[in-house]
Amino acid sequence: MASTDISPNTDDLAGLEAGLDALDTVNVSRLPVRQVLVKKVLPPVVAVLLVLVVWQLLVTLKVTDDYKLPAPSAVWDSLTAMWLEGTLLQVLWTSISRALFGFLLALAIGTPLGLLVSRVKFVRAAIGPILAGLQSLPSVAWVAPAVLWLGLNDSMMYAVILLGAVPSIANGLVAGVDQVPPLFLRAGQTLGATGLKGAWHIVMPAALPGYLAGLKQGWAFSWRSLMARRSSPPRRTWASASASSWRTAGTTSTWPGSSWRSS
């Protein structure tokens, strides 16, 4: 009669335990410095050098005027002169502080707006499509209306930043809240986390991936808005263009400080 003994083999169990221990063990090994340089440092350095080579090649071929595309050496000389004069850090901090302040304002407005849109169905149906439409507009599209409404000042710049960054932050939070498992919300309600407490302890941590994506896009919009403001024409150019357009239309327009009437 054949044996029916199916008792486990001690060696097999020991091998299985050793395999499970090996899976649980985190193998932390430092990469050699040469490998780190090749994989992490070398690619961006090569990319920057390639951009500089293409830049210098375009300057050498004189594809455009020098004032439109200066040589890399001319840009370096200008930066060096600003550093020696002590104005380089001041200029950099002025741009960074404006972008940072505008982003913080957008964060303070976009976060509660995103929570409101994500949790209240009526609000989502009312302004959800508007936020989506505003997010699709490039920041530079708001420069001209903001100049006409607010003038060439810091208020105009912050208005452009808010119009670009707030919809991105709000929509990112809405997308993150939509991905929160309903089980988390029910568990929070069972434990007494409702209202603002539930939003802070349950909704926001669970929606963090989508929220961070919205924050990154909002920061990018802040910089784009700042660059759009920097590249806007001076005040006199805006005034001349507006005056010409109003004369062509055969209407009377009043600009701050002056007025034009068609002849």
Q: Which two tokens stand for residue 43?
A: 């690619």
Q: In 3D, which of 81, 80, 54 has the Cα closest to residue 69?
A: 54
User: So what's the pLDDT on residue 55?
Assistant: 92
CA angle 214–216–222, rounded 5-degree value: 100
- The answer to whether residue 146 scores a pLDDT higher than 80 is yes
Q: What is the pLDDT of residues 163-210, one digit of tens each?
A: 888 998 999 999 888 888 888 888 887 878 777 777 788 888 888 888
Q: What is the pLDDT of residues 9-48, one digit of tens each?
A: 565 666 656 665 555 555 556 767 778 777 888 888 999 9
Q: What is the pLDDT of residues 47-72, one digit of tens each?
A: 999 999 999 999 999 888 888 889 99
Tokens 């002849």 -> residue: 263
| Domain range list for the chain | 36-86, 91-247
Q: In 3D, which of 214, 221, 222, 223 has the Cα closest to residue 111?
A: 214
Distance CA 263, CA 168 (A): 46
Distance CA 85, CA 210 (A): 44
Query: Are residues 228 and 222 in contact, defined by beta-carbon separation less than 8 angstroms?
Result: no
Going from the C-alpha of 135 to that of each of 128, 151, 153, 161, 171, the distances in angstroms are 11, 23, 24, 12, 8
User: So what's the pLDDT on residue 9?
Assistant: 58
CA angle 18–22–28, rounded 5-degree value: 155
Q: Which CATH number fits domain 91-247: 3.40.50.720, 1.10.287.470, 1.10.3720.10, 3.40.630.10?
A: 1.10.3720.10
pTM tops 0.85: no
Q: What is the pLDDT of residues 206-254, one digit of tens each?
A: 888 889 988 998 888 888 777 766 665 555 444 444 444 444 444 444 4
- The answer to whether residue 262 scores a pLDDT higher than 60 is no
Distance CA 148, CA 184 (A): 48
**How many other CB atoms sit within 10 Å of the CB of residue 44?**
9
